Amino acid sequence: MPHALHLIARPLGEPKDSDFELRELAQTDLAEGEIRVAVRYVSVDPAMRIWMTEQKSYWPPVGLGEVMRAGGIGEIVESKHPKLPVGTWVGGMTGVTEEFVTNGKGLRPFDARALPDPTWALHVFGATGFTAYFGLHEIGHPKPGETLVVSAAAGAVGSTVVQLGKAAGCRVIGIAGGAEKCAYVKDLGADAVIDYKNEKVGKALSEACPDGIDVYFDNVGGEILDAVLKRLRLRARIVLCGGISQYNATGLPQGPANYLSLISARARMEGFVVIDYLHRGEEAIAAMAPLVAQGKLKGKVDVIDGLSQFPEALRRLLAGKNFGKQVVQM
Amino acid sequence: MPHALHLIARPLGEPKDSDFELRELAQTDLAEGEIRVAVRYVSVDPAMRIWMTEQKSYWPPVGLGEVMRAGGIGEIVESKHPKLPVGTWVGGMTGVTEEFVTNGKGLRPFDARALPDPTWALHVFGATGFTAYFGLHEIGHPKPGETLVVSAAAGAVGSTVVQLGKAAGCRVIGIAGGAEKCAYVKDLGADAVIDYKNEKVGKALSEACPDGIDVYFDNVGGEILDAVLKRLRLRARIVLCGGISQYNATGLPQGPANYLSLISARARMEGFVVIDYLHRGEEAIAAMAPLVAQGKLKGKVDVIDGLSQFPEALRRLLAGKNFGKQVVQM
């Protein structure tokens, strides 16, 4: 029997295995117009840590007892839907489950054979890539010759931003943790890389960005955000994509003490959520596909096997131990 | 002999009398093309506290031993300048001095008889009014029917923002300290007033803004900024004008712990400095003069007498003890 993973407790700090429960799915027959989707991969994203709290966010919290929310991709294995035949790949909010029944609403079919690998529909050509593309262009407004700094630069979103920033003509400085990740970011084309685990980020930023920072794509918050705030150029833009360094915090998050630099730099800090741009996904794909074809935009996936490994995959992600887009294969 | 006030020490915490020194001005004769200005009023502004530190800002720090920097207005009492006759009122960066000699560069003459009082060239029709006008309109983009929250709403900038917000068709909520100031803000037309000294700001904001906040004009930072961040509407704009609650801080300022709300609200926080807009001053005056004539835009001035009282005036301002635009009369 297939299983689903339910959230049964709100984690305090790092999510634990016991915050979840594996439950057998009830057997259901399809009604007219319904399909059964076998989920192949689910995406593991920092924002999940927020969905698990009671915090008001762009989506309501996942209710206790509910299947854990997740974006995913899968194949239709049974169909009573006139337009969605068996064998079709679909993507959407599948949840952390091996299988589900739906009328197809909110799912988008895609041609898996047109992708290097179906997981690309979860990273470069999915929500991850859209986050990077729309966050950078719609909020960051990078101009050729400007200096772009990206945190979590070896991560799924960050590594895409690094490459899109180069494609936009920016000088790109990536910040990542550890020699292996830093080498990867350099390979992706970053002009300079800062290893936040082994360097003083402030000093390294001053050296890498002697004239200051025009655009900062922030995935982490915390001390790195503060170090960037001290080094803004006039009219700089900070793209607030996430604050992963604060997501496991049990108290109040660490606010950016240097935020008043936004005044003297006449700078802005702006948040965005990718779901506002999903309807423009084709636009991002059209812009990114040629870069992929030219080898200028690479994707990397970090696969963990098995539904029951989801909590561990999430912990890895929140601790920065993953390398590439973190997914769980069902 | 006239005097000037020199900065001789960088204050730690609240500025002390001993951080300044009154010095006699050397007697100077005018060269061709020069004028002598008798300063009548200097403006006392929160930003002065920053100019007194070694912090990099939009202007360099005031050097130790230099005359304290200040905006001011005065009358030309002696002239060898072909276009600036004796009796002309001028405004500009006069410094905290009773008198100075200049070729007139950077000063703008104004018609004091056209104003209710010459001090209006320092508040509504000067840098204070321009700060309110351009900050609100160029950064805040208020739309009719939106909810605007203003902190330090009884202050010089804040009280102008309250009135300009009403003129722009917003619901305006002012935050001020103490019953007298709150009554004044209400009199200016605010739809609701919150007394931060006697109310819980978060709870009061929830009541006054049940649908959230569209624009926040922030003069104070600290806990009030955090309370607002928790209550943003979608696509809210935070106008960062100042952070007076943090200016006397001896350690790092208190960063806004709730800044990640900018993500879920797709909101922005943006800083600005009025000097970028001074060349557009006539535009602000043209927009505000009819409001003044209709009684919809009132100014209030808090005059302290004597050059030597400048440190006390600055302390009053930083502690929120002033009521209206704080100026020192020479």
pLDDT in tens, A23-37: 999 988 999 999 999
Q: How many domains does chain A have?
A: 2
pLDDT, position A167: 98
Report the CATH number at residue B71. 3.90.180.10
Q: Give the C-alpha separation, A42 to A94, whole Å.
A: 8
Q: What is the pTM of this model?
A: 0.92
pLDDT tier at B56, thresholds 50, 70, 90:
confident
For residues A119 and A139, membership in a common domain is answered with no
Q: How many residues does chain A have?
A: 330
Interface test with B, best of A266, A274, A275 (most B CBs within 10 A): A266
CB atoms B258 and A255 under 8 Å: yes
Chain B residues inside the 8 Å CB shell of A253? 257-260
Q: Is residue B295 part of a domain?
A: no
Q: Using CB atoms, pick whichever of B260, B265, B271 lies closest to residue A266.
A: B271
Lowest mean pLDDT among A142-151, A219-228, A240-249: A240-249
pLDDT band at B42 (very low <50, low <70, confident <90, very high): very high
Instruction: Examine residue B133 and state whether it is found in any structural domain, yes or no.
Output: yes
Lowest mean pLDDT: which of A219-228, B51-60, B199-208, B218-227? B51-60
Q: How far apart, in whole angstroms, are the C-alpha atoms of residue B244 and residue B251?
A: 14
Give the per-residue pLDDT at B254.
Answer: 86
Residue B269: which of A265, A266, A269 has the nearest Cβ?
A269
Strand B108-110 relative to strand A20-24, pairing: unpaired
Query: Which residue range is the domain that position A249 belongs to?
Result: 127-275
The yes-or-no verdict on residue B34 having pLDDT over 90 is: yes
Task: Identify the band that residue A254 occupies on the pLDDT scale cut at 50, 70 and 90.
Answer: confident
Per residue in B200-259, pLDDT (tens digit) is 999 999 999 999 999 999 999 999 999 999 999 999 999 999 888 887 777 778 899 999
B260 contacts A58? CB cut-off 8 A: no
Tell whether B180 and B270 lie within a shared domain.
yes
Collapse the DSSP code of A286 into the 3-class scheme (helix H, G, I; strand E, B; otherwise coil) and give the result. helix
Q: How confident is the model at residue A80 (pLDDT cuts 50, 70, 90)?
A: very high
B140 — phi, psi (to 5°)?
A: -85, -25
Alpha-carbon B269 to chain mean position: 19
Pair of tokens at residue B60: 């360099």
Question: Which CATH number characterizes residue A211's domain?
Answer: 3.40.50.720
Q: How confident is the model at residue A263 (pLDDT cuts 50, 70, 90)?
A: very high
Determine contact, residues A71/A43, Cβ cutoff 8 Å: yes
Among the partner residues A253, A260, A268, nearest to B268 by beta-carbon distance: A268
The per-residue pLDDT for range B123-159, each reduced to its tens digit, is 999 999 999 999 999 999 999 999 999 999 999 999 9
Is A107 found in the same domain as A175?
no
Same domain (yes/no): B305, B225: no
Task: Count CB pairs under 8 A between chains A and B.
Answer: 113
Q: Which of A230, A258, A275 is the last residue of a domain?
A: A275
Q: Please classify residue B278 by burial: count the beta carbons closer than 10 Å to its beta carbon, then call 0-12 exposed, 13-18 middle and 19+ buried.
A: middle
Asked which of A275, A292, A316 is the last residue of a domain, the reply is A275
One domain for residues B311 and B266 = no
Of the listed ranges A186-195, A218-227, A242-251, the one predicted with least confidence: A242-251
Between the alpha carbon of residue B81 and those of residues A112, A198, B38, B85, B279, the distances in Å are 79, 62, 15, 7, 23
Stronger pLDDT, A43 or B247, i.e. the higher one: A43
CA separation (Å) from A35 to A3, A27, A95, A108?
17, 14, 16, 13
CB B91 within 8 A of CB B285: no
Helix (H, G, I), strand (E, B) or coil at B259: coil
Instruction: Name which of B96, B43, B90, B72 is nearest B303 in CA terms.
Output: B43
ipTM of the complex: 0.91
Where does the pLDDT of residue A86 fall: very low under 50, low under 70, confident under 90, or very high at 90 and above?
Answer: very high
pLDDT at B296 over 90: yes
Please report which confidence band the pLDDT of residue A251 belongs to, taking 50, 70 and 90 as the band edges.
Answer: confident
Give the closest-approach CA distance of A46 to chain B in angstroms.
13
Residue A248 pLDDT > 90: no
| B97 and B131 housed in the same domain | no
pLDDT at B212: 98
Residue B290 covered by a domain: no
**Alpha-carbon separation of residue A178 from A194, A215, A218, A225, A303 (angstroms):** 9, 23, 18, 19, 20
Q: For residues A314 and B220, what is the distance between their CA atoms, to the nearest angstrom?
A: 38
The whole-chain average pLDDT of chain B stands at 95
**Of A275, A290, A313, which one is at a domain's C-terminal end?**
A275
Answer for the pair B122, B72: CB distance below 8 angstroms, yes or no.
Answer: yes
Angle at B66 between CA B62 and CA B71, to 5 degrees: 65
The shortest C-alpha distance from B248 to chain A (Å) reads: 14
Predicted pLDDT of residue A58? 83
Shared domain check, B142 and B105: no
In terms of domains, do A105 and A218 share one?
no
Please indicate, yes or no, whether residues A172 and A106 belong to a single structural domain of this protein.
no
Q: Give the residue numbers in A contacting B (CB under 8 Å), as ranges.
A: 56-58, 221, 226, 240-243, 246, 252-273, 276
Q: A267 and B262: CB-CB below 8 Å?
A: no
Can you tell me the mean pLDDT for A183-205? Answer: 97
Residue B280 resides in a domain: no
Residues B113 and B139 in one domain: no
| The pLDDT of residue B179 is above 90 | yes
Amino acid B250: pLDDT? 75
Give which of A45, A216, A258, A259 to mutate to test B binding, by max B Cβ within 10 Å.
A259
A249 CB contacts (<8 Å, ≥6 apart)? none
Q: Is residue A282 part of a domain?
A: no
Domain co-membership, B180 together with B316: no
Chain A residue with the nearest C-alpha to that of B58 = A264
Is B291 contained in some domain? no
- Cross-strand bridge partners of residue B325: B301
The two tokens of residue A166 are 């180069």
Burial class (CB in 10 A: 0-12, 13-18, 19+), A235: middle
Q: What is the pLDDT of residue B243?
A: 86
B264: chain A residues, CB-CB within 8 Å: 56-58, 271, 273
Pick the residue from chain B with its C-alpha nearest to A221: B260
Say which range, A54-68, A95-109, A210-224, has the weakest mean pLDDT.
A54-68
Clarify whether residues B106 and B195 are in a common domain. no
Contacts of B174 (CB under 8 A, 6+ apart): B149, B150, B153, B154, B158, B162, B182, B185, B186, B188, B190, B192, B193, B194
* Residues of chain A contacting B268 with CB distance shorter than 8 Å: 268-271
- Cβ contacts (< 8 Å) between B253 and chain A: which residues? 257-260
How many of the other CB atoms lie within 10 Å of CB of B143? 12
Task: Look at residue B7 in the predicted model and tell me its pLDDT.
Answer: 97
In a domain, B76, yes or no: yes
> pLDDT digit string (tens) for A275-295?
999 999 999 999 999 999 999
Mean pLDDT, chain A, rounded, equals: 95
**Is A61 within the bounds of a domain?**
yes
Mean pLDDT of B34-54: 95
